[in-house]
Each structure stands twice: as C-alpha cells, then as structure tokens.
Amino acid sequence: MANTNTRHPELDSFIHDVEQIVQEGGGEETLISKISERMKKLLKLGNVLPTQYMQPQPKSALYPLYIAPDESFSIAITVFNVGQPSPTHDHGTWGVIGVVQGVEHEIKYARPSSENEPLTVLKDRYIQEGEVGICCSSEQDLHQVECASSVPCVGIHVYGRNIGKIERHIYNSQTGAKKVGVTPWVPVPDIQNNL
C-alpha cells in the first residue's frame, strides 16, 4: 500500500466511505449501487491520484491503492497505455470502475456453456473520462478492455476481494478455452521527486 502522506485527502475519504459501505453489508446490488454513487462524487473532483499511479507499464498496470486488512475489498488503479488491451478475463467478485483519464473500451461476454465454445458479445461500450460503470457482478463477470484514447486510460477500480490475489480465468475469445491465473499487483513506481 502506498504511503498515505502522498494521497489526496479526498482519496482517503473515499477509501473510508467504501470501507463503511462494505462493513454495513447488504446484497451485492446494494454494495455496487452505493459504491457507484460514491465513485461519481470522487470523479467530479477531477484527478486526485498521485502521479506515480498514472504511469503506464509494458503490460497493463494494476496498482494497489488500498487493500482492506481482512481483504473484504480492494481499490486498484489500472493504467492501460494507448492501444493497450487486457486479455479476456473474469474477476470472481463484484467490481465498480471510474475512469479518471482517457477512454476505456469494454467488451462484455456471455459466460460460455462449454470450454470449446467461442464467446458471445453481450455489450460493447466506451466508458468516458469521469464516468462510472459496473465492471463485474455475480451475473456478468467476463470482459476485455483496452485504452481507446490518445492518452493512457487510468481508472479507479473497487473490487469485492483482494483482486491482486484471486485466482481468475483468462479466456480465448475465439475458442472459449480458459486457463487459471492470478493478475498480481504491480509495484507502484517510486517517482516522489516529481510529485
């Protein structure tokens, strides 16, 4: 987890509020709705992320902003460089995303009924800077995303577990074949001299 001294106070407030929402509980739909509303308020403030969380990597970056001590939720900063895609993947939990910079192109897929079945597109959408979307839920958990802007796409993602440790699946969208994998946290670059 990053040094809290480098974080904007509004980020700390957001983390605290998400923690409260998760602790209050309720169904998945309730959690997603409340966190989405709180995320919208955060994004209205503009970019409150420290510079080190905005840095692209050779592969898409999954930076840990906050991981709850009991791993009941995590807040990730994802960075996709211009034209950079993710593999098609699932999450194993619910998730809410907010785009801080750039545009995210997302293709949602139906979960295949067998492993040798090409994936069927359910939704193809663009999430613009300042917008919030539901990344995943128990019912819809399979997608592929990429940066669709001329600047890196940076998003704040809240997940229902420690997303950097969950065993998930990577899919071949043409064949439906899947393999188990973990998308590990990427160490946050140390560029504090530039803050």
Instruction: Give domain status of residue 165, yes or no.
Output: yes
Instruction: Give domain status of residue 2, yes or no.
Output: no
pLDDT of res. 195? 38
From first to last of its 195 residues, the chain has per-residue pLDDT tens of 444 456 889 999 999 999 999 999 999 999 999 999 999 999 999 989 999 999 999 988 999 999 999 999 999 999 999 999 999 999 999 999 999 999 999 999 998 887 778 999 999 999 999 999 999 998 889 999 999 999 999 999 999 999 999 999 999 988 888 999 999 999 999 875 443
- Which residue range forms the structural domain that includes residue 106? 8-186
Instruction: Give domain status of residue 158, yes or no.
Output: yes
pLDDT of res. 6? 67
Backbone dihedral region for residue 130 (phi beyond 0: left; psi -120 to 50: alpha; all else: beta): left
Instruction: Give domain status of residue 191, yes or no.
Output: no
Instruction: Give domain status of residue 192, yes or no.
Output: no
pLDDT of res. 192? 54
Instruction: Give domain status of residue 193, yes or no.
Output: no
Instruction: Give domain status of residue 121, yes or no.
Output: yes
pLDDT of res. 24? 95
Cβ 36 vs Cβ 53: under 8 Å: no
Specify the length of the chain in residues.
195
Number of domains comprising the chain: 1
pTM: 0.91
CATH of residue 126's domain is 2.60.120.10
Of 116, 104, 98, 91, nearest in space to 174 by CA: 116
pLDDT of res. 55? 95
Pairing of strands 132-136, 153-159: unpaired
Instruction: Give domain status of residue 95, yes or no.
Output: yes
- Which one-letter amino acid corresponds to residue 24? E
